[in-house]
Amino acid sequence: MTSKIYILIGPPGAGKGTQAKNIANTKDFVLISTGDLLRENVEKRTELGQIAKSYMDKGEFVPIELVARIIKSNIEQNLGKSGFLFDGFPRDLSQNALLDEMLKEFNLDVDKVIYIDVKDEAILERLTNRRVCPKCKKVYHMKFNPPKKDELCDDCEVPLITRDDDKPDVIKNRLATYHKSTHPLVEHFEKGGKIIRINGEKSPKEVENQIIANI
């Protein structure tokens, strides 16, 4: 059986991480999330994980070639599974070329790209209203999922915080980077008829149902 290859794309704050986990569980896909894979390899002290750790300990980005080797190793171990779902890779056209080369080695190709479409204004509202408990890490939304007591965690009763990357100027920079580097992938896959466009401004469950219905 040939494994299907799906890629999840969307702006920061579109809910890709949550949707990726839900879809992978529902469809029994192998989830390839670059951040999770790196952490897993570091924890297991694999050879590639140890090399990655040497960069992470210095606060440096792990070279994309090393990330690609870790991804390739994961594909190799799971060949024959019904599908792979990529979250966080590729982030731009050059990384996509790297993925194409990798998939060719296994006689695989990208089947569909799930594009969670959310307008910038909605992303700004979504992220600037997000709060996190510094103690238990529970996430709240001041509009859609507020704490019972104003700005206090329901469980720990400590003041909630706004993450640095949820501040308006940082969000705008992240969105600018996304539009410049990652969004061209949408146009690239659209030409190949591989895009599944999802309205990401619906509730998380409605977004999940849209995706499941299309794959």
39 included as an active-site residue? no
Q: What is the largest CA-CA distance in the chain?
A: 55
Which residue reads 């509009």 in tokens?
Answer: 143
Identify the active-site residue in 27, 138, 174, 197: 174
Identify the active-site residue in 21, 81, 91, 138: 91
Identify the active-site residue in 135, 149, 163, 167: 163
Q: Which residues pair with 113 in a beta bridge?
A: 7, 195
174 included as an active-site residue? yes
Identify the active-site residue in 16, 53, 72, 126: 16
H helices within the chain, ranges in order? 16-27, 34-43, 47-56, 64-78, 93-105, 120-128, 168-177, 183-191, 204-214
> What is the C-alpha separation between 127 and 140, in angstroms, rounded?
10
69 included as an active-site residue? no
Identify the active-site residue in 72, 126, 130, 131: 130
Residues annotated as catalytic are: 16, 91, 130, 163, 174
